[in-house]
Chains A and B, each alone.
Chain A
Amino acid sequence: MDTSYPLQALVASAREGDQGAWNAIVERFLPLVCALVRRHRLSEADGDDVSQTVWLRLVEHLDTLREPDALPGWISTTTRNECLRLLAARKRMTPVDPLDAGSLGGVEADVSGVELVALEERQALRDGLAELPAGRRELLQLLLTDPPIPYAEISERLGIPVGSIGPTRARALEQLRNTRAMRALAAASLEAEGERR
Chain B
Amino acid sequence: MNDWSDDDALMAALSEAVAESEAVTDRRREAAQAAFTWRSVDAELMELLHDSALEAGAAVRGAADPGRLLSFGRGELTIELEVGAGAVTGQVLPAQDATVTLQATGVEDRTVAADGAGFFRIEEVGSGPVRFVVTTSETTLTTAWVTL
Contacts and interface: CB of A to CB of B under 8 A. Distances in A.
B58 A55 contact: no
A51 B23 contact: no
B64 interface: no
B11 A143 contact: yes
B21 interface: yes
Interface stretch (A65-73, A151-159, A168-176): A168-176
A34 B7 contact: no
Given A31-B24, A122-B17, A173-B7, A53 B2 contact: no
B147 A88 contact: no
A85 B18 contact: no
Q: How large, as a class, is the contact surface on chain A?
A: 35 or more
Contacts of A53: 129, 145-147
A59 B35 contact: yes
A41 interface: no
B51 to A, nearest CB: 6
Interface in B1-51: 1-2, 4-5, 7, 10-11, 13-18, 20-21, 23-25, 27-29, 31-33, 35-36, 38-39, 41, 43, 45, 51
B59 A125 contact: no
A182 B122 CA distance: 49
A23 B29 CA distance: 9
B72 to A, nearest CB: 13
A176 B2 CA distance: 15
Nearest to B10: A173
Contacts of A56: 35, 38, 105, 129, 131, 145
Nearest to B148: A89
Contact of B18 (A33, A50, A62, A141): A141
B58 A122 contact: no
B1 A129 contact: no
Nearest to B105: A52
A106 B58 contact: yes
Interface in B51-73: 51, 53-54, 56-61, 65, 68
A19 interface: yes
A91 interface: yes
A17 interface: yes
B68 A92 contact: yes
Nearest to B18: A144
18 contacts: A30-B21, A33-B32, A34-B24, A34-B28, A35-B23, A38-B23, A53-B146, A62-B39, A88-B53, A89-B147, A93-B85, A105-B58, A105-B60, A125-B14, A143-B11, A169-B11, A176-B14, A177-B5
A48 interface: yes
